[in-house]
Amino acid sequence: MRIKKDQRGAMPVPMTGWRARVPCMTPLALALLTMLGSMSPLARAQSANPATPAGGDVTLPAVTVTDNTGADATTEDTGSYAARNATIAGKSAQSVKETPYSVSIVTRQQMDDRNDTTIEDALRYVTGVSSVSYGDGTAYFRARGSQLGIEFDGTPIVSGLQYLTQFDLAMYDRVEVLRGPAGVIDGAGEPGGIVNLVRKRPQNQFHLTTDTQVDSFGSVRQTIDVTGPLNKDGSLRGRAVIVGEAGHESIDRARQKEFMAYGAIDYDFTPRTTLSLSGGYEVLPMYGLDYGASGALNADQTALVSRVPSSYAQNFSPSWNTSYTSIQEANANLVHRFESGWQSSTTLFYRHMLTRAYYAYSGPGATADGLSYYGDQNQRNSYDWFGADSNVSGPIRLFGQTHTLTVGANYSVMSSTALSGFQSVDGPFDGGTFSLFDPNAVPQVDTPFNFGTNERTVQYGIYVQARIKLANPLTLLLGAREAFVQDRTQSTLPDVSDWTTNSQINHRFLPSAGIVWDILPALTAYANYARFLDAQTQTTFSGAGIPPRSGEQYEVGMKSSLLGGRLSTTVALFRINDNNRAVDDPDHQYYYVAAGKARSQGVELEVAGQPMRDWNVYAGYTYLNEHFENDVPGLTDGTDPKHLFKLWTRYQFSQGVMRGVSVGGGMLAQTRISRGVEQGAYAIFNAQVGYRFNKHLEATLQLNNIFDRGYYIRPPGQFYSVFGDRRNVMLAVRTDF
């Protein structure tokens, strides 16, 4: 549902390539995933004593139920903004404090307190991450000057995040973010980092929650989440999450509907072997969707000089704009825990997405009084992702110390089909100007498909990680990957062509190294080095492909875990060197050269957790300095602020006359960004008050954008812009049984 522009601001063309891809979705349905659990104490005891006489009195041995599959990183029901463990830096839960990388975790409590429903909502409050809406239910995400990749429960998926609709957050336990190159586990990709979406798992006890939300835009949302054991001994557990929403947006006439269903089953074949199956289905129709207006041109129509004056509620698109997205996914995971402490895990993942859209949008550029060309766009895009990951990990006793080794392999493939048609009222942007303030005057023109592309991107590799205990205060982490990537495309319209290989990476070695020094039990210092590699699909004038982007990151920092682990802090300094980035060939229009060099460096500060028992806080500050050699254009889209601050906090009174009352709020502040038109520095403030009537019922009232600040999330360029939400109020009522 998105159009790719050439980098000179010319007429949009059908999207190809794996970097800037149309958001698309699809129907079907399944239900099959999450992680693992342990068998009940009674079942464990019975299996350990199979010869117990029938009918005899039995004294069961003391049993400790453990789960080595990552469940100890679960944030649900912890009530905290801090997470001690994460799975994003390895294939099992690891202490965040003992991980020599910058890791942030959006816990379930954070998402609930802020009423987050989309991945955009969650990542908007993550330290150092820019979450930039695109206007059609999708977004793109950046950190440290580059885009982020994605994993689902630790399984990396190629080209699965940017400009693509994701499932509703109601199905996830937490959102983990690792900033910086993650090539050892994730493979080739940009050095911004990786997002790991971790699904909710079935629980050992019955639990039913509901969440009802109503806001001042006129949106209504209902969530139901039920989980618990499905047989007598608890070896079979299930979970179901259902979401329904009828929503209106901040801009006029834009609305959407949503339905999502998620189901998960865990089954313990034995106390040491667990199979997890899950699946999800979501549909998202949108009406009156708006990509916003471009910037206003100068008198010579050669440069953007300002935004088009308007209300921050203005919809610049005709009301007949529509889109439809559907997503289906299935996941299976099999884990076996050996008596030696070793563990094997194998995961298979499949997702299908379909997007259909028919809409008009304005550009390139506009006059100061709001006149612009309009073009009609017809699109149908489908994606299929398959991912597989298999690994073994466990302890090794050597030289009087216990070390940990992980060895594995993963495979990911993305196949897409894109059909696109473009039609201007009087030709391709050569006539037929309309007022941006009267977009319903734009006629709906018959627009058949006239461009078609198939694409297939494959990435696979083998990896190894070693956590080596050098001495009691020092731990060395070494990682390596042998990487393989191939991207191929085929034209299907207007003519069918042979498949063309756009990029190929074979046998490329990606190393990483980190060291952790335990200065005090609650304080660690760390340093890391990691190389990255990212395939590029552009071509040179000679017809040859562009070599991969490559570079390395250097990072040092300190982490603490205070107050018994309730409060965590991180300070990080980083530098990323990025080479061979594709930029416009100055001598040959529409071709590229590998001449772009960039350096991103900065500082990140983060505090998360509970300074007091009833007080949760999350705060993050980022300073980012980007340097582009020779000021080569096209190396950034201009949406990376130099200073970025995020805060959310909530206090729950647990005693006295205020018992049951909660107060909270947050802010998001950033410095200027520009895509041709500048968005100046701004700060958005939110406030919340709530009351817990009893242990089963709670209500909160939240006021967002208190001072009704008008701003752009994505400032205007030659095409497109996105307003931030106006002031609004949301009432949320939650029940818990």
Q: Are 523 and 560 in contact (CB under 8 A)?
A: yes
Residue 302's pLDDT band, with cuts at 50, 70 and 90, is confident
Q: What pLDDT sits at residue 235?
A: 97
Q: Are 306 and 322 in contact (CB under 8 A)?
A: no
| Strand locations in 563-642 (E) | 567-584, 592-612, 615-628
Q: Is the pLDDT of residue 590 over 90?
A: no
How far is Cα 507 from Cα 488, in angstroms, rounded to an integer? 18
Where is average pLDDT lowest: 32-46, 49-63, 486-500? 32-46
3-state SS class at 564: helix
Share of the chain above pLDDT 70, in %: 88
Q: Are 77 and 153 in contact (CB under 8 A)?
A: no
How far is Cα 77 from Cα 227, in angstroms, rounded to an integer? 13
How far is Cα 552 from Cα 579, in angstroms, rounded to an integer? 9
**What are 464's strand-pairing partners?**
407, 480
H-assigned helices in 125-226: 183-186
CATH fold, domain 207-736, is Maltoporin; Chain A (2.40.170)
At 309-353, the pLDDT tens digits run 999 999 999 999 999 999 999 999 999 999 999 999 999 999 999
How far is Cα 612 from Cα 157, in angstroms, rounded to an integer? 39
3-state SS class at 349: strand
What is the dihedral sign for C-alpha 690, 696, 697, 700? Answer: positive
Domain ranges in the chain are 207-736
At 442-489, the pLDDT tens digits run 988 889 999 999 999 999 999 999 999 999 899 999 999 999 999 999
Determine the distance from the C-alpha atom of residue 177 to the mean position of all C-alpha atoms in its chain, rounded to a whole number: 8
Residue 416 backbone zone (phi > 0: left; psi -120 to 50: alpha; other: beta)? beta
Count H helices and E strands in the chain, helices first: 4, 38
Determine the distance from the C-alpha atom of residue 585 to the mean position of all C-alpha atoms in its chain, rounded to a whole number: 32
CA distance between the termini of the chain: 41
Distances in Å between the Cα of 39 and the Cα atoms of 44, 63, 234, 270, 633 are 6, 11, 6, 8, 58
pTM of the model: 0.89
Where is average pLDDT lowest: 26-40, 283-297, 469-483, 530-544? 26-40
